[in-house]
A and B are shown apart, each in its own frame.
Chain A
Amino acid sequence: MANVARAFVTTDVILVSELAAAVRSNTAGAIVTFSGDVRDNDHGRDVSSLEYEAHPTAQNLLEKVASEIAARHEVLSVAVAHRHGPIPIGESALVAAVSAKHRKAAFDACADLVDEVKAQIPIWKHQVFADGTDEWVNCA
């Protein structure tokens, strides 16, 4: 049974190396990490700043999603973190790390984890464009 090494929301910088270290073990032959970074463009428009808002239940739901991923894949350890508040261009908004004995399970579980976080966690993205207009993403 895989364990959840870390699952948290934070307003601080998230380091990929920190989550990778959290899932590392001598029984693991593979560690797959993902970093979802803040882009300076969206749909061909220049993004000048970006901010995420998290619902108060986001922490508990992130723990739940991480546990589900750990239970349904042949992996050893899972870690995931989502940042909220203002995030500078180029920094990580979502970081995931998964360790497994073999690479395929780690790749599959990491991709599944990211998909589930995007689908299930009540977090919203607000972006301001270079022309001064702004939008809440996914809510036209």
Chain B
Amino acid sequence: MAVTVRFYAAARKAAGVTELKLDAATAMQVLDKAVETHPNLAQVLPQCSFLLNEVALHDLNTQVLDNATLDVLPPFAGG
């Protein structure tokens, strides 16, 4: 499945890019592939939460559909 991963804030800094397009079957696979090519992500991903098509994702083993968007959100710091 073709998936777009979008990185925000500290995750974007670690990735060095705003987004990646890659092929994977689950959210976990998406992240594993992203870390392979952008290893600095390994430091921030454990702190992050995720949105699949802008809905909170609670299980990284969730299957991703073709053209899905996975957002990587570091800990919030509003206010």
In the bound complex, what is the Cα–Cα distance between A11 and B13 (angstroms)? 22
CB within 8 Å of B: which of A82-128?
82, 93-94, 114, 117-126
Residue of chain A at shortest CB distance from B56: A57
Task: Tell whether A29 is near chain B: CB-to-CB under 8 Å.
Answer: no
Q: How many residues of B contact A (CB 8 A)?
A: 16
Binds A, one of B28-36, B60-68, B69-77: B69-77
A137: which of B44, B47, B71, B77 is its contact (CB, 8 Å)? Answer: B77
What 0/1 readout, one digit per residue, does chain B (17-52) give for beta carbons within 8 Å of chain A?
A: 000000000000000000000000000100100010
**Which residue of chain A is the closest to B48 with respect to CB atoms?**
A139
Contacts of A56 in B (CB 8 A): 54
Known interface pairs A124-B10, A139-B9; A93-B79 also in contact (CB < 8 Å): yes
How many residue pairs at the A-B interface have CB separations less than 8 Å?
60
Question: Given the complex, which residues of B lie within 8 Å of A139, measured CB to CB?
Answer: 9-10, 44, 47, 74-75, 77
A26 contacts the other chain (CB 8 A): no
Residues A136 and B79 in contact, CB atoms below 8 Å apart: no
Residue in contact with A136 in the complex, picked from B9, B71, B78, CB distance below 8 Å: B9
The 3 closest A-B pairs by CB, nearest first: A123-B78, A124-B9, A136-B10
- 21 A-B interface contacts by CB (under 8 A): A57-B51, A93-B78, A94-B78, A117-B78, A117-B79, A120-B76, A121-B78, A122-B73, A122-B78, A123-B76, A124-B8, A124-B10, A124-B74, A125-B78, A126-B9, A136-B74, A138-B74, A138-B77, A139-B10, A139-B74, A139-B75
Contacts A93-B79, A139-B77 known; list 13 others, CB within 8 Å.
A36-B79, A52-B78, A53-B9, A118-B76, A123-B78, A124-B9, A124-B74, A124-B76, A125-B77, A136-B10, A138-B74, A138-B75, A139-B47
Q: Which residues of B does A touch, CB under 8 Å?
A: 8-10, 13, 44, 47, 51, 54, 71, 73-79
